[in-house]
Amino acid sequence: MTASSGSASALTEDDTDALTIGRRIRQLRTARAMTLEDLASAVDRAPSQLSMIETGKREPKLTLLQAIARALGVGIDALLEGEPLDERSAVEIALERAMKGQTFRALGIEPFRIGKTVPTDALKALLALHGEIDRLKDERAATPEEARRANVELRHLMRSQNNYFADLEATAGEILAAVRHPGGPLTQRTASEIAAYLGFTLHYAPDLPQTTRSVADLANGRLYLSSRVPAKGDARTAVLQALSSRMLGHAEPRSYAEFLRQRVETNYLTGALLMPEAHVAPALKDAKQRRAISIEDLRDAYSVSYETAAHRFTNLATEHLDISVHFLKVHESGTITKAYENDDVNFPTDRLGAIEGQMCCRRWTSRVVFDEDDRFNPYYQYTDTGNGTYWCTARVEASSEGLHSVSVGVRFDDTRWFVGRDTTNRGVSNHSVEACCRRAPADLEERWRERSWPNVKTPRTLLATLPTGAFPGVDTTDVYEFLEAHAPR
């Protein structure tokens, strides 16, 4: 009884599955010069039934396995835990397993019968190709940790350049000159002229794939955008972001780091087109001379969102005004979603140095602004830290993911150039130290630590790899079906 139980359980192990057992039976049979018919006759079964067993398509019952072992003159252990298979059998098993896996299915390759006449080298080549496809998929997949590393590397690059990309500024200048943009706010009509200059006509569709902001039909020179523009959306931004990748000659990203870099370049170029350096830089210099720098004024002058104006200010502040700055975008939950700094503000980071995903200090301007009832006027605050005093201006804006605060700040010495420097709002934050506000007061922790159990809202990307593919997060089947339906006939 004990032996039978052990043998039965052994049938479930990876190294003794139906494929392996079948190949061992065939290997022992051919070594004894027995035909399939000879073995079938010895165990009183049809040859077709044994053929199914040898090819791993049917798992033999223990009684039949024992009969086969006796016919071959071996113990049952020789079938379950015998000598290693010969090379041909091992290669066939590996390929059959691969054909049942996700990679072959994703490529639309149906499993096929491996005939005796197929050369072993051909089977090895198929296995090698399968392995290389899996390796490339693994390389392209970005775990949350890899994504954070890529974000850190990108932030270091941006900091080393003071968040200023001269080549992207030059590209924006060339495009604007080509369409003879006179300066000032870039109109919807000018955005359409840029599209025409690049060889695209604009088409607005109600059924744009949900995972996309736009879809470019490169074959027919058509750029599709959603006809359902959100209430707070900017039609110009959608067009320019779609065209920026074409202006920059972006190819399919080979890694998640390259995907992030392309996103930054696309957003930067869009901002540079909406708010041209040739016009914004002199205006900022004039505002500095008047000690009246204001993100709101920048926003209003170019008819852009506060976030776009804040981003653009960080692009140009150090390069043209010699002012070091920091930028934060914080979700209403307190999570930092975007960050940039070259003013030594020393934001909280994880062990990899990533700021994104960390909790913003409750006493920092970016969190305090959520408690303000006045959403019409900007909020200003001085904050004392262990690394000096900083001044920030912040606003709360709505997005598809909820409310976000967007803030821009500078060191105390540079406050004199800004509107809002006379604020009386003041806070104290040691935001890079856990004890500042991420740990509850001792009396509260003592009272509730053993008497509470919060159910965490786990971020989707915490446990899974980030989307892979030519364009991470995009359902390409939807895109191709959309293009097929809308392509000119």
**Is residue 26 pLDDT above 80, yes or no?**
yes
Q: Tokens at residue 416, please?
A: 């004199």
Q: CB-hemisphere CA count at 13 Å for 107?
A: 14
**Is residue 2 pLDDT above 80, yes or no?**
no
pLDDT on residue 438: 63
pLDDT on residue 5: 37
- Mean pLDDT for 98-113 is 78
Q: Which amino acid appears at position 56 of this protein? A: G
User: For the segment 201-244, what is each residue's pLDDT rounded down to a tens digit?
Assistant: 999 999 988 888 889 998 999 999 988 765 456 788 889 998 99
Band (311; pLDDT cuts 50, 70, 90): very high
- Mean pLDDT for 126-153 is 75
pLDDT on residue 140: 56
Residue 409 near residue 369, CB atoms below 8 Å: no
C-alpha to C-alpha distance for 260 and 217, rounded to whole angstroms:
23
pLDDT on residue 7: 35
- Mean pLDDT for 52-62 is 82
Note the helical H segments in 337-391: 365-368
**Is residue 476 pLDDT above 90, yes or no?**
no
- Mean pLDDT for 351-380 is 90
| Between 447 and 121, residue with greater pLDDT | 121
C-alpha to C-alpha distance for 322 and 318, rounded to whole angstroms:
4
Residue from 279, 182, 189, 201 nearest 243 by CA: 201
% of residues, the chain, pLDDT over 70: 87
φ and ψ at residue 47, rounded to 5 degrees: -55, -35
Pick from 129-133, 154-158, 168-172: least confident: 129-133
pLDDT on residue 463: 45
Handedness of CA 213, 218, 220, 221 (dihedral sign): positive
User: For the segment 380-414, what is each residue's pLDDT rounded down to a tens digit?
Assistant: 999 999 889 999 999 999 877 789 999 999 999 99
pTM surpassing 0.85? no
Any idea how long the chain is?
A: 489
C-alpha to C-alpha distance for 191 and 200, rounded to whole angstroms:
11
